[in-house]
Amino acid sequence: MTKEIPHIQDQSTPWLKLLVEFGFQNQPFLLGSQSTSSWLARREWVLPDGRPNKEYLKKSYGNAIVPILVNGTNYESTTLTEFLENMGDPKVYLKDWHFQNEFGTSMYTLNPFFSRDFVNCEKWTTNKEENPFGDDYRFVYIGAAGSWTKFHADVVCSYSWSANICGRKKWFMMSPGSEEVFKSSSTDSGYVEDIREYPELFEQANLITFIQEPGEIVFVPSNWWHQVHNLEDTISINHNWMNSTNLSLVRDFLNKREEDVRNELSDCVDSFTKEEFEEKVEDILYADARLNKSKFLKLCELVKESRADKNDDYVCESHGLELWKCISSPDCYPSITSICSCSTSFCEKCSNFIKQLEYSIVSRFLESQLSTLYDCATTSTRLPNDFADDEKDLKTIIRYGELFKACHSSNSIDYIQKAEDVTEEEKVELKKTVTQKLANASSSEDEIPWNVNIVIGNSHVAKSLRPIIDIKMPTGETFEFDIDSFAQFRQQLAQTVLVVNPQE
């Protein structure tokens, strides 16, 4: 027995109810066809008998270059006219066509739940330079009866929604973790491509199956694996998206992928400087996951900036302004759904609430990033490379700390020789300092208390970072400097070393 998906037939269902019941809880639903009945696409792209209106499509968009997936493996390109005239082979599937980039979004409108979308519904969406994703994630799919999409989870842990303009789709779907039942060592994804070959595993995977009828919209939550079959000639519109409610899942996903990338690169870590290595990790993460840590933070900054105008704050009775806590607190759900009952548009109340929620959530990510910087600095471990160039002095200081620690643990100054991003002059200076300190340390076996503390002034404004350097010396003295005066810092460091370790 397979399970069913919740059907939302009532078009007056408040969008805040969808947010709380499905967004907050990462659960799928199917929205009734009334939700798309006013879409131009449903009228213009479809013949009265429900088949695709190929003549209209050719006339309106025929010369567009479209991507087609052949045999489920190779992407090729062709014109829409060419594709439609040969349509019929289930092995040729028009997928991931960035229709909206070329022709806009006038053929459909979005339920407020789907329009809280940091990827596709923001002012940076169409600005390739500014957009942390580099592109939008809005697509049109056209597939003949029998075409299908292999078992997969969507890119970067995003949500997707998929609306049938015409035709019907059969869906197989399962909650996160259940895909493990379908692991396979013989595919690139690490999972089987066609779960229909393993019906004996359906029950164990708690499989959900359902038919999506013309006009219906499926909400696919983050990390829910799925497989999709076109039962008739089908056209669908689909977005991959993120918002405040799945951002923490995206962040967890990036952390995990980052770990994988680091492990994969661990063999060649010595061929790079620390900073080069960090850059490599970010580049590979971006190529592989289509997002990386610095782009994720950039997204948070963009959202924060654009939500900063909210006027009346929503204040939760239990959590005050820490709205992110409401997401995992079912006790807060009734007070959220009682804000308003808007279903197809925003009133001032729900619009203020959602902006406030988004602001709270992205601010938390930005703050947790600052605490990462703090940890890195105080422990002299990895420095994230997502700080602007004007923080270069800070990087240099931490690099000095790291070098010193590395030299200390190996009891040798080799690391300074290897450090490519330290100038010759600095190397000489550093070597002198470190040699002295090492000589002292090896005789006493005492740990050298090199300790760089970065005190972050106002954690709300990353740009206003004014770190203070705090150096505790073995004598118990503490030296404190403003990071701006780095030259002064080095001079004082040298003096301090001389005080501790006088030369004859």
Ligand X SMILES: O=C(O)CCC(=O)C(=O)O
Residues found near ligand X in the complex (CB under 6 A): 141, 149, 154, 160, 162, 169, 220, 226, 228, 236, 238
Q: How far is the CB of 141 from ligand X (least distance, A)?
A: 5
Q: Are 228 and 146 in contact (CB under 8 A)?
A: no
> CA triplet 173, 122, 251: central angle to 5 degrees?
50
Q: Which does 162 bind (CB under 5 to 8 A by kind): ligand X, Fe ion, Zn ion, none?
A: ligand X
| Beta carbons within 10 angstroms of residue 495's beta carbon | 11
Instruction: Look at residue 265 and give its three-state secondary structure.
Output: helix
Q: How far is the CB of 237 from Fe ion (least distance, A)?
A: 13
| Beta carbons within 10 angstroms of residue 85's beta carbon | 12
Q: Which does 342 bind (CB under 5 to 8 A by kind): ligand X, Zn ion, Fe ion, none?
A: Zn ion
Q: Which does 347 bind (CB under 5 to 8 A by kind): Zn ion, ligand X, Fe ion, none?
A: Zn ion
Instruction: Closer to ligand X by CB, 154 or 282: give it.
Output: 154
Q: With contacts defined by CB under 5 A, how many residues of the chain interact with Zn ion?
A: 9
- Contact string (CB under 5 A) for Zn ion, positions 338-377, x = contact: --x-x----x--x---------------------------
Instruction: Closer to ligand X by CB, 220 or 383: give it.
Output: 220
Q: Are 468 and 479 in contact (CB under 8 A)?
A: no
Q: Work out the burial of residue 280: count CB atoms within 10 Å of its CB; fewer than 13 is exposed, 13-18 middle, 19 or more buried.
A: middle
CA distance 476 to 64: 72
Q: How far is the CB of 160 from Fe ion (least distance, A)?
A: 5
Q: Does 17 bind Zn ion (CB under 5 A)?
A: no
Q: Which does 236 bind (CB under 5 to 8 A by kind): ligand X, Zn ion, Fe ion, none?
A: ligand X
What is the Rg, in whole angstroms, of the alpha carbon atoms belonging to the chain?
28
End-to-end CA distance of the chain: 86
For the chain, the maximum distance between any two Cα atoms, rounded to a whole number of angstroms, is: 98
Which of 318, 410, 411, 478 is the binder for Zn ion (CB under 5 A)? Answer: 318
| The pair of three-digit structure tokens given for residue 276, joined into one six-digit string | 């080069």
Binding site for Fe ion (CB under 5 A): 154
Which of 58, 290, 310, 319 is the binder for Zn ion (CB under 5 A)? Answer: 319
Q: Which does 332 bind (CB under 5 to 8 A by kind): Fe ion, ligand X, Zn ion, none?
A: Zn ion
Which of 291, 330, 306, 284 has the alpha carbon at shortest distance from 25? Answer: 330
Q: How far is the CB of 236 from ligand X (least distance, A)?
A: 5
Q: Which does 294 bind (CB under 5 to 8 A by kind): ligand X, Zn ion, Fe ion, none?
A: none
Which of 103, 100, 97 has the alpha carbon at shortest distance from 65? Answer: 97
Q: How far is the CB of 316 from ligand X (least distance, A)?
A: 32
| Beta carbons within 10 angstroms of residue 139's beta carbon | 21
Binding site for Zn ion (CB under 5 A): 316, 318-319, 326, 332, 340, 342, 347, 350
